[in-house]
Structure 1
């Protein structure tokens, strides 16, 4: 009707509360947060702030609570002055960024026992100075009876550096072009050998090297023009396939003997004897049986010990390395000797060996049990096949069949920043939690870490327990 009042104007739309979300730099500079940033480091603090801001943008956290939540999370983190324990849920057994091989129980106890005074260079029977780390030398000689003597230095690169310095400084070393490898963090073999004063003389091509290439380089003199040694390096962190060839250790040893030169073999991953599960991985015993004069390797990879470099082989050659002045600068401390000796004497498989040999069915049962635990607390996840890897430059391209728990990708950050910290694999938009390298006794802690991390991610699907009850055992 004409006399009716006009309808009231529509109420203005309520402002989006997310407009009040502060910028990340503003959060990190807030007085309630800035001291925590100084304590834990900007990079870790940035990750925490970004996770909290993501919650706020998804509506799971009021914007006014962002600063308080960031301060609370940072306050619970350990300062970066000390290392934090991490559950390795990547499926990579020898993970360099996580310290490579985790020590077994015997080696861990040996570290504690050696933390005080210890008989590192003392013969307790006579009260006089004894061999440094003599029990470790004996244990290595028992493990590799083909070696006439052994020497332990502080890592695998140091073992090769010492060998080149003591045997070839100022002279040349023959090496295949296909073995001029680059190791972790950009360190390259030519640079390492060059720092010893030796010069690499390359033979062959990138993909094919033959015995005749070495022989031609040595022609004209029984010891070659300035050549001091032959070097063979296992390209452990990659694989070249197709039209390729390389000279076996046995053939190369014959060339070296004919020229009166030592053959140094860098096996890399620290496998002491053949393993049928890794048929293409070189080992120290086989290389020495095939005629290598020296074998150098890492102790913190497939051997499963602490960071150390091993030198095994001809007693006279090892003696030359031991007497060289550089050996003093590269020697290991009492804690390394204690942990290495315990690793060698322990009859139980090292943790890296147990993880590498874990069966797919066993891993599937653990993943299903983990999935069931999460489902009981309202979290739905998926069990998916997942291949692990040896890692650490060992057995490139060799899959370790297993299983993983598939979670939203957004959980990876909160898992890393949780307590315990968990490193998972992010792949194709999912966060994959692989229990291969997590001791079964820590499965409950892993489940708790996932649940705690999921509490801060808004897109985790909630649901009831899976149909059919818990997995069969």
Structure 2
């Protein structure tokens, strides 16, 4: 009797065993492409799905579904996304997009490199020596150290300099950053004892003055870079904090968080902090516009203590991060900061954004996709410049907002839009150069998907 291969329904008991299927010729090509182990796992999952669903697929249909499972599971999890949200340092999208120079540096560093080799002498070198001169030149500090993020830089500073002793900090600066990561937790982990002074909204110089004891190791200032306290407030200026700390013979540690390179609104800049502080820390992947890193600036004596602490080894940066950071710093030093995507997005004028959005509107109209221009604001994001909106022009798409945003997010490439005033909106500020055509195609595809 002839076997029917593609019957849609069979008895559940007719399900073949995994061992039987894997040895069938139909699966040989999949084994060659994906490896026997992955194919066995995909077959097992498919058979289980058929058993639980009560519907048994035919041989060809089953093989196709196994291949779909394999291709889905083998696709890269980290995918390029077009950021049309208007949030420049979008934490969920990896914060700062790297410049072309930084990307090229990654390619160079991916091979063998002189990461810890002094090519002149042939002896072992220090990886930090590759970027420390750039950091000290750019920010006018005596010494510098790079670790893998700013939380690590703060933890290292507190551990190496303050373990077993007291650190004074204002209650208004006990911040929580993403992922429920709180400053008191960092302090506790460092082994230092946190001494809180003042109140949430007002802390005076006398509050610090009254807290000094023989066990005090440092005063910590934490910049509240991801929120603002306004109204009836009081904070001690950095210069006054430095006078108080140094007058009592203790250190001043300044955690700047996002690390403003240039004066923006009332954000404290790195250049303003360095002359007053013994240690200044900030992120590499925020306003600097580089890869994820934590930068510590300070005196030679203090930075040497950080670099020689065992924790420094655990939080050191790898060669790829170092290469991208070096390239970014060189762009800043040589006056090419405008080539860094984050800087370009911060500086772009609303008129230029409008021209770009208008061009997209015309192209979409030619494809039968209606859209209109709407004035709004972008955001720096990433815990930077809270409350400081950046004037922008949105491309508001016609159609069901949530469904359009969902279709864009599930497209290829994925596009992250935002919903504002019940419309799915595209903010040109954060769409990178060279992504225009892909974005237009993605918008058209999403529109067709939700309106057909």
TM category, shorter: 0.7 to 0.9
Q: Please report how far the alpha carbon of residue 235 of structure 1 lies from its aligned counterpart in structure 2 after TM superposition.
A: 0.5
Aligned CA distance change for structure 1 residues 196 and 286 (closer, same or farther; 3 Å): same
Contact 2:147 2:312 in 1 (8 A): yes
CA distance in 1, matches of 2:85, 2:385: 17
Equivalent of 1:197 in 191, 196, 201 = 191
Please give the residue correspondences for 1:98-247 in structure 2 after superposition, counting only pairs within 5 Å.
98-145=93-140, 147-218=141-212, 224-247=213-236
Moved more, 431-440 or 151-160: 431-440
Secondary structure (helix, strand or coil) at the match of 1:448 reads helix
CA distance in 1, matches of 2:409, 2:330: 34
Per-residue Cα deviation, 1:57-104 (whole angstroms, up to 9, x for no partner): xxxxxxxxxxxxx99999997856430001110101111000000000
Please give the residue correspondences for 1:438-449 in structure 2 after superposition, counting only pairs within 5 Å.
438-449=431-442
Secondary structure (helix, strand or coil) at the match of 1:455 reads helix
| Cross-structure match for 2:282 | 297
CA distance in 2, matches of 1:332, 1:285: 24
Per-residue Cα deviation, 1:423-446 (whole angstroms, up to 9, x for no partner): 011233221111101123221111
Per-residue Cα deviation, 1:299-344 (whole angstroms, up to 9, x for no partner): 0000000000000011111111111111100000000110000001
Moved more, 443-452 or 335-344: 443-452
> Are positions 1:281 and 2:271 aligned together?
no
Q: Please report how far the alpha carbon of residue 186 of structure 1 lies from its aligned counterpart in structure 2 after TM superposition.
A: 1.1
CA distance in 2, matches of 1:86, 1:354: 19
| Cross-structure match for 2:408 | 415
Gaps of 5+ in 2: 1-37, 43-64
Contact 2:357 2:393 in 1 (8 A): yes
| Cross-structure match for 1:325 | 310
Secondary structure (helix, strand or coil) at the match of 1:195 reads helix
| Cross-structure match for 2:258 | 269
CA distance in 2, matches of 1:395, 1:340: 22
Q: Please report how far the alpha carbon of residue 348 of structure 1 lies from its aligned counterpart in structure 2 after TM superposition.
A: 3.9
CA distance in 2, matches of 1:440, 1:160: 35
Aligned CA distance change for structure 1 residues 214 and 186 (closer, same or farther; 3 Å): same
Please give the residue correspondences for 1:3-82 in structure 2 after superposition, counting only pairs within 5 Å.
81-82=76-77
Per-residue Cα deviation, 1:249-288 (whole angstroms, up to 9, x for no partner): 100000011110010000111223x32xx13112221111
Contact 1:386 1:434 in 2 (8 A): no
**How big is the alpha-carbon RMSD for the aligned residues of Structure 1 and Structure 2?**
2.1
Q: Please report how far the alpha carbon of residue 121 of structure 1 lies from its aligned counterpart in structure 2 after TM superposition.
A: 0.7
Contact 1:270 1:300 in 2 (8 A): no
Q: Please report how far the alpha carbon of residue 458 of structure 1 lies from its aligned counterpart in structure 2 after TM superposition.
A: 1.8
Equivalent of 2:349 in 329, 348, 359 = 359
Contact 2:408 2:446 in 1 (8 A): yes
| Cross-structure match for 2:319 | 334
Contact 2:84 2:415 in 1 (8 A): yes
Contact 1:384 1:404 in 2 (8 A): yes
CA distance in 1, matches of 2:445, 2:73: 17
